[in-house]
Copies of this chain bind each other. A is one copy, B any other.
Amino acid sequence: MTTRARHSHHRRPGRPREEATEQAITAAARQVLADKGVARMSMEHVAARAGVAKSTLYRRWPSKVELAVHAVAATFDEIEVGDHGSLAADMRSGIEEAARLLRDPSTGGAYAALLAESARDPEGVGTQVRESLSTRLHALVATSVARAIERGEIQPDMVDVDLLADVVVGSVMHRSLATGVPDQAFVDGLIELLADVAYARLHRAAVAASAARATD
């Protein structure tokens, strides 16, 4: 990713890193994270489970939190934002995907814990959490909307994507962690809510257009 590395096919000096190691650590971290949560996940434990020395962990990640971010990111990497033909279908799929991810207490809890860490270090951990976690969740909504605009279903000025993304992700997360699990009724309710927003905006646009025609 760094410029130097990109346009250079010369390998870095020194013994290259063991390829399998990173995967082993990531897998171990994900397991421990699922078992114990961010707070009780220990580098010692992860190293042992990965069959790796603790120093190897610290060579690759500066601290426990960074490793946790990486491990959760690995889970979020599974996010698929498929094309379902319409904004409505895409949104439903996005919300259900978010619900699927955050419903699992280990994933939802980990995400919340890392957001909490972000609050303490907005530049360091915060940036990483944003770049490798939050954006990925936001993509669930953002790409749906982008596709809808391409299809001509909606106009770009009709929706604030960032707001919408925070609404979707935030709602699902809060429901998952604070109020109860995001069941089908909740998902339906949320979709209906968003559908009503769309209805109102399209309706108002149509009224405005007919008014403009009348003025002619």
Contacts and interface: CB of A to CB of B under 8 A. Distances in A.
A178 B111 CA distance: 10
Contact of A38 (B116, B177, B178): B116
A166 interface: yes
B106 A119 contact: yes
How many monomers of this protein are in the complex? 4
Contacts of A119: 37, 105-106, 108-109, 112, 177
A16 to B, nearest CB: 16
A130 B179 contact: yes
Interface in A177-216: 177-179, 186, 189-190, 193, 196-197, 199-201, 203-204
Contacts of A162: 179
Contacts of A106: 119
A116 B116 contact: yes
Interface stretch (A4-12, A80-88, A168-176): A168-176
Given A170-B170, A174-B169, A178-B134, A120 B109 contact: yes
B166 A171 contact: yes
A113 interface: yes
Contacts of A200: 196-197, 199-200, 203
A105 B120 contact: yes
A67 interface: no
A163 B120 contact: no
A210 to B, nearest CB: 15
A201 B189 CA distance: 13
A56 B186 CA distance: 43
Given A106-B119, A200-B203, A166 B193 contact: no
B178 A118 contact: yes
12 contacts: A110-B116, A112-B113, A116-B116, A133-B178, A134-B178, A163-B193, A165-B179, A170-B170, A170-B172, A173-B174, A196-B201, A200-B200
